[in-house]
Amino acid sequence: AACQGRENVGKASGKILAICRGNPSVTIPELALMLGITERSVQRNMQKLQLLGLLRRVGGRKEGSWEVTHEGA
């Protein structure tokens, strides 16, 4: 997979990046269902990805979308 070789990005985080790349308007509850983890786990993973500069939120809470900012991720 594209996320192999990146020690600082875990399995769930790699999947989150892949899903956000394919569906930028995905919601945290939708991600939790797709990955089989809690919404809180999704939030923590996304916060980590944002801190690492791999993911960012564009727009507001309701009409915004996710942008994967690091192509190699």
The number of angstroms, rounded, from the C-alpha of 51 to the middle of its chain's C-alpha atoms is 12
pLDDT tens, position by position, 5-55: 444 568 999 999 999 999 999 999 999 999 999 999 999 999 999 999 999
Helices and strands in the chain, H and E counts: 3, 2
Of the candidates 56, 32, 41, the one whose C-alpha atom is nearest the C-alpha of residue 10 is: 41
Is the pLDDT at 57 greater than 70? The verdict is: yes
| pLDDT number for residue 7 | 45
Is the pLDDT at 1 greater than 70? The verdict is: no
User: Taken in order 16, 39, 41, 54, is the CA torsion positive or negative?
Assistant: positive
Is the pLDDT at 56 greater than 90? The verdict is: yes
The number of angstroms, rounded, from the C-alpha of 30 to the middle of its chain's C-alpha atoms is 12
Q: Which two tokens stand for residue 61?
A: 């809470």
Is the pLDDT at 64 greater than 70? The verdict is: yes
